[in-house]
Amino acid sequence: KICLAAVRRVASQLPHVISAKTVRIRHDDGTEDFDLELRMDASAAVAPGEVLDGGELLRGLLRRADMPRSVRVMSGEAVANSYK
């Protein structure tokens, strides 16, 4: 079993991470996966056309079995604007 709170804690300690959220996915066959959403501050911006790989950031910190199915990286500005 994977402790999703521990994964969120590890992810939230990465540089430039404002918050980390896990989303649990249940499959029809009864198995479960989880995705991770990372909200980054503006100083984590990369060059236009480049994508920040959240999975790469976590590979050295989590075991392969504890890795999320996918990691979605969002800028803090995009999150703030989505609530308006």
Measured distance CA(21)–CA(79) in Å, rounded? 13
| CB contact at 8 A, 17 and 38 | yes
Tell how strand 70-75 and strand 32-40 pair up. parallel
Among 57-61, 65-69, 78-82, the range scoring the smallest mean pLDDT is 78-82
Coil vs helix vs strand at 69: coil
Total residues found in the chain within this entry: 84
83 torsion bin: left (phi>0), alpha (psi -120 to 50), beta (else): alpha
pTM metric for this prediction: 0.75
- pLDDT of 24-56, one tens digit each? 999 999 999 999 999 988 776 665 556 567 788
